[in-house]
Amino acid sequence: MRKIALIILLKLFYISNAYGLIEVDITRGNLDPLPIAVSPLHVDIKSDKFEGLKVKSLGSDISSVIEKNFKSTGLFNPLKKDAFVQKPDIAHIKPRFEDWRLIKAQALVTGKILVKDSKLKVEFRLWDLTASKEMIALAFTTTPSNWRRVAHIISDKIYERLTGENGYFDTRIIYVSEEGPKDQRVKKLAIMDQDGANTKYLTLGNELVLTPRFNPTNQMVTYLSYFRNLPRVYLLDIETGSQEVVGNFPGMTFAPRFSPDGKKIIMSFAQDGNSDIYTMDLETRVVERITEHSAIDTSPSYSPDGKYICFNSDRSGLQQIYVMKSDGSNVKRITFGKGIYGTPVWSPRGDLIAFTKVRKGRFYIGVMRSDGTGERLLTENFYQEAPSWSPNGRVLVFYRETKSGPKGEGFTAKLWSIDITGYNERKISTETDASDPSWSSLLTK
């Protein structure tokens, strides 16, 4: 009896202690974002020069990237640096908590960097200003040109510590870059960091390309290309640039995605006016037919465990979303709401399916449970589609097109992101117009 009482006491103590720590509630739209101070990382004066980098400003450059990441979540409010009360190097050793609390900061990030022998050494700390204690201290070494990734990795660690969820900053987005008038768009595959930096173009724009998607290790991309005017699914190795057509189909293949283990590509194959879903094993080259129906079956997406596939079919007359076992058995329609439904994509957590809905001439991005219940529409517009999940299943990226005038003027296509809470809708800046985004998994796991 006394023992039990003691355990309860201990538990109470433990819980109240945990309450003393700051935490960020991400289960609903956060209207009261956490004030956080990101001190510029102190640059060690013993640092070497490094070709192509301003080492002196690297500390504040890294902190700016971290701040921008935090701001984009809608969960944090990075405070203005002119109010900061301590020099970066001193704060990093031990902050004067009460001074930082005066500027209403609840969390503080400090750090220092050293560039030596062509290596970038970074250490950072996250401080809980309410409980006056250190929450994380980490150090790592990389090549100096990797400094943006360092900023993203630090952002992920802090996000994880404060929200209890996996981060998503050290990631990339592959998309279709678009330029030129609406009826003569030049489209190229482009890849960039999640925050819009480091854009690289992977194709030259000689042929139409659409719907790129990453494999689970982010090394490969599958996409649709009209190379030689034959629309086919292709596989591209991002590092080597080598490309190959997927399978030997006597007609259009499209709507490709990787299986969660990366071993197969699932896609639609259209023949004689009918589109069905097929898979091809990338190693054995074995092709399997998954659906066999006179209706259009397209936009397949695996559940993260690989056991199920959601897809889009008009077998009921109009586009609806269906779920089946990965061998094609047990097909069940899951959408019954008013309007048509397309582009289902299974969440990396497995619980939700994101989709595009069209109703009364308006386009919605929404989420629902994988059995079709609990539909929530997150955003409405003139035209938007193609949601893709952040690797932690918290955020969707999609593209939106604007209405154009009599000569096609005013037409734009841009990437946007939104929280699955329906809050924090943001335009993602891209060098050109952009569509068909696909979010990578975390680059460092």
Partner 1 sequence: MNFYKSLKNTFLILAAALILSACSTGKKADVSGDVYTGTDTVEYLATGVKDRVFFATNKSSLTSLSRETLRKQATYLRKNKNLNVVVEGHADERGTREYNLALGERRANAVKDYLMTYGISGKRISVISYGKEKPVNTESSPLAWSQNRRSVTVKVN
Q: Which residues contact 298 (CB under 8 A, 6 or more apart)?
A: 254, 255, 268, 275, 277, 311, 312, 313
Smallest separation (angstroms) from partner 1 to the CB of 264: 18
Per the rule left: phi > 0, alpha: psi between -120 and 50, beta: everything else, 317 is left
> Nearest 5°: phi and psi at 303?
-70, 155
Name which of 2 and 228 has its Cβ closer to partner 1: 228
3-state secondary structure of 152: helix
Instruction: Give least dist CB 217 to partner 1, A.
Output: 24
Cβ 168 to partner 1 shortest distance, Å: 25
Tell me which amino acid residue 191 is: I
Output the CA torsion 370→374→377→378 (10° steps).
-80
Kindly state the smallest distance separating residue 340's Cβ from partner 1, in Å.
Answer: 8
H or E element in which residue 111 lies: strand 107-116
Nearest-approach distance from CB 231 to partner 1, in angstroms? 7
| C-beta closer to partner 1: residue 253 or 392 | 253
| C-beta of 252 vs 287, nearer to partner 1 | 252
Task: Find the helix packing angle between 55-73 and 147-163, rounded to 10°.
Answer: 40
> Shortest distance, CB of residue 298 to partner 1, whole angstroms?
5
Residue 182 or 349 having the CB closest to partner 1: 182
Task: Name the site residues for partner 1 (rule: CB under 8 A).
Answer: 181-183, 185, 208, 210-211, 224, 229, 231, 251-252, 254-255, 268, 270, 272-275, 296, 298-299, 312, 314, 318-319, 342-343, 356, 358, 361, 382-383, 385-386, 401, 403-408, 411, 435-436
Q: Which is nearer to partner 1, 158 or 290 (CB)?
A: 290
The least distance separating partner 1 from the CB of residue 410, rounded to whole angstroms, comes to 9
Min separation Cβ 268 and partner 1, Å: 7
DSSP string, 10-24: HHHHHHHHHHHS---
The answer for residues whose C-beta is within 8 angstroms of residue 123's C-beta and 6 or more apart is: 111, 112, 113, 137, 138, 139, 140
Within 13 Å, how many C-alpha atoms sit on residue 190's CB side?
A: 26
Distance (Å, whole) CA 390 – CA 341? 21
Among residues 16 and 229, whose Cβ is nearest to partner 1?
229
Angle at 353 between CA 352 and CA 357, to 5 degrees: 135
Sign of the alpha-carbon dihedral angle for 220, 393, 192, 167 = negative
Q: Report strand pairing: 107-116 vs 119-128.
A: antiparallel
Nearest to 376 by CA among 385, 367, 387: 367
Nearer to partner 1, 306 or 410 (CB): 410
The Cα 105–Cα 84 span in angstroms is: 10
Using the minimum distance from each CB to partner 1, give the nearer residue, 259 or 312.
312
Q: CB-wise, 48 or 380, nearer to partner 1? A: 380
- Least gap, CB of 183 to partner 1 (angstroms): 5
